[in-house]
């Protein structure tokens, strides 16, 4: 595992270990052990660090995963288009999507028979 403690700490604005250890509420020597790799980090401590650094555990651990691919190409295209938008346009698109989901005739529901999605048609019982 390639812990990214020092890089993420500095990126978050903590110039030295002692300041970060104080913000985290741990002994500076304990934190130094984690950052140098001499001491293994417990999951609870890793979660506290990730929260303080505003990062994921995967980022902290140096793991780089690609986002999950969707089996439906329409979902992939929608996600790609969404990722290219500015914040205002993302909000606009979310508003449009919510109008679709507010219309019961447009909703998909799980069939009790299997895990396939079926479209619920208005007036169908």
> Residues 78-95: what's their mean pLDDT?
90
Res 112: pLDDT: 41
pLDDT digits (tens, 9 = 90+) for 5-59: 999 999 999 999 999 999 999 999 999 999 999 999 999 999 999 999 999 999 9
Q: Does the pLDDT at position 120 exceed 70?
A: no
Residue 104 within a domain: yes
> Residues 79-104: what's their mean pLDDT?
90
Residue 30 within a domain: yes
Q: Does the pLDDT at position 68 exceed 90?
A: no
pLDDT band at 4 (very low <50, low <70, confident <90, very high): very high
Global pTM value: 0.53
pLDDT band at 106 (very low <50, low <70, confident <90, very high): confident
Domain hosting residue 32, numbered range: 5-61
Domain count along the chain: 2
Q: Which residue has the higher pLDDT, 6 or 79?
A: 6
Residue 9 within a domain: yes
- Calculate Rg over the CA atoms of the chain: 23
> Residues 73-97: what's their mean pLDDT?
90
- CATH no. for residue 17? 1.10.260.40
């Amino acid at each position: 595992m390639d812990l990214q403690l020092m890089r993420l700490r500095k990126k978050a604005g903590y110039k030295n270990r002692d300041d970060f250890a104080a913000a985290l509420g741990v002994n500076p020597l304990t934190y130094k052990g984690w950052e140098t790799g001499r001491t293994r980090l417990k999951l609870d401590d890793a979660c506290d660090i990730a929260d303080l650094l505003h990062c994921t555990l995967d980022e902290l651990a140096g793991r780089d995963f690609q986002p999950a691919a969707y089996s439906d190409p329409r979902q992939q295209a929608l996600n790609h288009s969404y990722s290219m938008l500015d914040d205002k346009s993302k909000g606009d698109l979310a508003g449009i999507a919510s109008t679709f989901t507010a219309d019961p005739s447009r909703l998909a529901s799980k069939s009790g028979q299997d895990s396939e999605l079926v479209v619920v048609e208005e007036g169908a019982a």
